[in-house]
Each structure stands twice: as structure tokens, then as C-alpha cells.
Structure 1
Amino acid sequence: MNMKPTQLQQELKKKQAFQSPEIEAILNILRTSDQLQNRLGKMFREYGLTSSQYNVLRILRGEGKPLPSLEIASRMVQVVPAITGLIDRLEKQGLVRRKRCQKDRRVVYVEITSAGKDLLDEMDAPLSALHEELLGHLAEDELHELNRLLVKARQNCCVGARISG
């Protein structure tokens, strides 16, 4: 049987078919993720941030109040092994500030500063435009289906506990 090479086979210049559709799907997800992360990472660097730092700021802005650092870590899109170092760098940039809990000195609350909110506000429109550039060619029903399938694909991935810093 002489099957036409898939798009991913062509991109990777792979001569043989993939061993299974599962392998091809995982490689497609990883390749797509890498390309999206590269484009998004480039934008974040233009604003002096990493994707993880941006994620922390978005979590804090969305919550609207200070959060314990471990709570922030549990809400991250990508697992970060050292949330403390991440918050240190944001604090040095003046984008967040820490406050110790008066009742339990072990708990550290983190809040976004006005400078952090201003930076996110400045990034909102360009980031929205980049999202549109990257995925705007998909119809709304295709985006819903993509989201549904990605959630379904993660069901068997996330059995273990998330790592926090």
C-alpha cells in the first residue's frame, strides 16, 4: 500500500509512516506547541517577560487580589519548578510585591503592582492580534473542536500531582 506522506512526515522529512496515529498526534502537538511558544515567547521578550512571568501577572490581574505563591503555582499553564525565583524576578522588576500573612508567617501573598497592571494593559492588544494571526484562520467551530480534543487528550496525562516551588 502506497500512502501519501502526511503533512508532519513532509515537515520532518520522515521517509516512513509513523508507527501509530498516537505517535503522530503527539509529535504534531509537540511541534505545534513549540512553534506557538516560540512566537509568543518572542512577544513576551519584547516586554521583558518570559511566558511564565506573564502567566503569573495574568493570574494576579484576573484574581483581583493577592494570592499565596503556592496558589499561583497551582494555576500556572505550565508547571514551574521554582515559583519563588519567578516571583523574585517579577518583584525586582517592580511588577509584583510580596506580603507575609500576619496569621501564618510561612504564607507569602503576592499582589500585582500598578506597573504590572500597566504592562499587561499595554500587552493586551498586541497579544490579541498575535492570537488572531496564529489561529484566526480556524473557524469558531474548529476552535471549539480543537479545544475539546485537547482537553480530552489531557485526560490521561494529568493523573499525578502538579509540581510546585
Structure 2
Amino acid sequence: MGDISKDINSSFANNKLKALINVMYTSNWITNHQNNFFKPFGISPQQYNILRILKGAKSSLKVQTIKERMIDRAPNATRLMDKLCAKGLIERIPCESDRRVVFIEITKKGLELLDAIADDFDVQLVKNLTEEEAGQLSDLLDKMR
């Protein structure tokens, strides 16, 4: 089992500070894991998130709706979608009634990429937690926010 004190060779003034540092350290650890995992697929974790949102929607979505549903609400969501479009993983569909509105839809190629990516890749990150512990962790993180 990991120990943040040993991992970063530091001690903490109190448990609240230790918890905060641990959350930040773990966030970075998860980000690095995801970046390494998605690299062979040629996409980023944020692009994967967009593809999953579109697959789950089962129909085209407005760009703004996608931005609202993203885990990482980065201001560069449009640029991320531009890259997905260039790779043929999504397509843009202009709104007939309002030129300012663009709908995004996942392509067959995008769905095939999602099928190639293991659904349980992120489960590996929490494999050491029981279902009860995972619930407690989620509740504590919700409480923190």
C-alpha cells in the first residue's frame, strides 16, 4: 500500500494538509496513467471523454452540451474536437435553423476506436479498493468539493 509521506519524502503538519497533498498527488498519478494508456490510440484522455459522451448520447449533441458534460472542462474543447474531426472520429453537423449552432456526432470509426479501448482500463486504477471503500472515497471527495 502506498504512503504519501514516503512517496514524496515529506511529513505534514496535520492530516488535512496531508489529505490535500495526497489528492493532488493522486490526481497527477491518474493523469499520467491515462496519458500513457491513451498514447498508443492517438488520443488524449479529454478526447476519450468527448467520444464517450457522444457514444452515450446516442445522437448528435451541441458543442456547448459536450463542454458541460466533460470531466475536465478545459477551454480548449473546441480544439480537441477539431483534432477528433481531423482523425475522422467525429463529424460536425451544422444546424439548419441557426448557423451559429453546430452539432457533433461520433462516426463509425470513433465507435470502433472506443470498442478497441478496454472498458475496464480505469478500473485498474481502483483495483485495490473494495466496493465499500470506493463509495466512501467518492463520498469524501464530494464532501471536499
* TM, length-normalised to structure 2: 0.92
Distance in 2 of aligned mates of 1:107 and 1:131: 33
Amino acid in the other structure paired with 2:45: S
Question: Is 1:138 the counterpart of 2:138 in the alignment?
Answer: no
Identity of aligned residues (%): 35
Count of paired positions: 144
Partner residue in 2 for 1:13:
9
Give 1:46's match in structure 2, choosing from 40, 44, 68: 40
With 81-90 and 105-114 compared, the bigger mean Cα shift is at 81-90
C-alpha deviation, 1:18, in angstroms: 2.0
Q: Secondary structure at the match of 1:97?
A: strand
CA positional deviation for 1:40: 1.5
Structure 1 residue 106 displacement after superposition: 0.4
SS of alignment partner, residue 9 of structure 1 = helix
Amino acid paired to 2:134? L
Matched, 1:81 2:72: no
- Structure exhibiting the larger radius of gyration computed from Cα positions: 1
**CA separation in 2, counterparts of 1:56 and 1:138?**
27
Equivalent-residue separation in structure 2 for 1:96 and 1:133 (angstroms): 28
TM-superposition CA deviations, 1:118-159 (whole Å, max 9, x none): 000110x3x51x3343211211111111111111111xxxxx
Read off the aligned partner of 2:131 and give its amino acid letter.
E
Farther off after superposition, 39-48 or 19-28:
19-28
Deviation at 1:7, TM superposition (A): 2.7
Aligned mates of 1:95, 1:137 — CA distance in 2: 34
CA RMSD, aligned part only?
1.5
Establish whether residue 108 from structure 1 lines up as the match of residue 102 from structure 2. Answer: yes
Q: Which blocks of at least 5 consecutive residues in structure 1 are unaligned? A: 1-5, 155-165
> Structure 1: how far apart are the matches of 2:18 and 2:80?
34
Q: Which amino acid aligns with 1:56?
A: I
Q: What is the match of residue 68 of structure 1?
A: 62
What is the CA-CA distance between 1:105 and the residue it aligns to? 0.9
Q: Does the residue aligned with 2:122 lie in a helix, a strand or coil?
A: helix
Query: Which residue of structure 1 lines up, in the alignment, with residue 113 of structure 2?
Result: 119
Cα deviation, residue 10, structure 1? 2.0
Structure 2: 5+ residue runs without aligned partners? none
